[in-house]
């Protein structure tokens, strides 16, 4: 019987549709236990060596060469999500291991969260909630999203979803992308500008680029210093896109007004100094955590695995030459 090892925290954790699809197709599903977490590459490699899976469903844990060579049965690494910066695709390809992900399954969820974080920051919802629970009854005066100039960095699926939602608020939308989308410019009046101009004039800057060599620390000291003092930064993409130390320094000194972060360079961020600041909203990487998105991801993960082992070529294989 073929074995599917699940190191992802979220696959089949809330809903069972993916696990049931695999079981019905004759796969044995094994999960990394809570006692074995948190996972690093060495720990995961030992588990993979022990279980000898044919497929691995992973989350954000590192899928390194050490992990990939730990099972001679391994044929497929299936990302329960979109970003694959944690997977050594080049080594997987050299090993003859397929890598796949689940794009467009969490677009709506992440775009919704982005707009939610904007509203939380602008309307001071967290502060108002805490104050009211403490028995204080006082006005919290904020801003309307429709009056804001919003800069969207990265206009792929999720960035495009954010732009679609912003258009309903009548916000002025600026964008930066190495591959501008004419459809967004014509349909929603998006004005593409340089990254420097976007940072300098936007009231809200929201990040939606993948983590690559080019985007790592793309928002560093110089970029943060270009931002307006009353500006807010939102990051629901990857923590390493932002220089967290530089961000901490500028939030602490009020060089920029506020931030909302769903992602961190190291997760969970237990020792991160950003946790000590009161002008940053922090959430535990929940961008894709809606029942609807999880069902779509679970179902697609399972169906790709089944198709691969049935000799078919499913969509979303990232190294199809294997």
Record the tokens describing residue 195, joined without a space: 């990254």
Dihedral angle at the C-alpha atoms of 9, 85, 294, 288, nearest 10 degrees? 100
Residue 61 annotated to the active site: no
Is residue 238 part of the annotated active site? The answer reads yes
Annotated catalytic residue within 127, 172, 197, 267 = 267
Phi, psi of 319 (to 5 degrees): -130, 65
**What CA–CA distance (Å, rounded) separates 268 from 59?**
13
154 within 8 A of 177, measured Cβ to Cβ: yes
Computed over its alpha carbons, how large is the radius of gyration of the chain?
21
Q: Tokens 């896109």 belong to which residue?
A: 241
Cα 82 versus chain centre, distance: 8
Rounded-to-integer distance, Cα 278 and Cα 105, Å: 33
Write down the catalytic residue from 54, 75, 157, 238.
238
Residue 133 annotated in active site = no
Q: Which tokens sit at 107?
A: 């677009």
Active site members? 238, 267, 285
């Amino acid at each position: 019987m073929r074995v599917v090892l699940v190191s992802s925290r979220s696959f089949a954790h809330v809903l069972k549709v993916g696990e049931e699809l695999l079981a019905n197709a004759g796969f044995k599903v094994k999960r990394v236990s809570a006692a074995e977490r948190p996972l690093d590459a060495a720990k995961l490699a030992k588990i993979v060596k022990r279980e000898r899976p044919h497929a691995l469903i992973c989350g954000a844990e590192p899928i390194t060469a050490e992990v990939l060579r730990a099972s001679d049965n391994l044929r497929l690494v299936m990302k329960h999500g979109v970003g694959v910066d944690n997977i050594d695709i080049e080594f997987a390809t050299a090993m003859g291991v397929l890598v796949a992900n689940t794009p467009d399954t969490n677009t709506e969820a992440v775009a919704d969260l982005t707009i939610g974080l904007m509203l939380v920051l602008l309307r001071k919802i967290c502060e108002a909630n805490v104050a009211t629970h403490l028995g204080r009854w006082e006005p919290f005066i904020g801003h309307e999203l429709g009056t804001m100039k919003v800069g969207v960095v990265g206009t792929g699926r999720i960035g495009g979803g954010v732009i679609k939602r912003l258009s309903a608020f009548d916000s002025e939308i600026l964008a930066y992308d190495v591959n501008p989308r004419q459809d967004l410019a014509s349909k929603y009046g998006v004005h593409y500008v340089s990254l420097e101009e976007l940072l300098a004039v936007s009231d809200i800057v929201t990040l939606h680029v993948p983590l690559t060599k080019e985007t790592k620390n793309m928002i560093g000291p110089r970029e943060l210093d270009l931002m307006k003092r009353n500006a807010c930064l939102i990051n629901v993409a990857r923590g390493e896109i932002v220089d967290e130390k530089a961000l901490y320094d500028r939030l602490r000194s009020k060089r920029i007004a506020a931030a909302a972060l769903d992602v961190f360079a190291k997760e969970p961020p237990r020792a991160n100094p950003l946790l000590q600041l009161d002008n940053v909203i922090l959430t535990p990487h929940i961008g894709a955590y809606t029942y609807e998105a999880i069902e779509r991801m679970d179902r697609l993960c399972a169906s790709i695995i089944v198709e691969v082992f049935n000799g078919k070529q499913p969509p979303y294989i990232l190294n199809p030459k294997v």
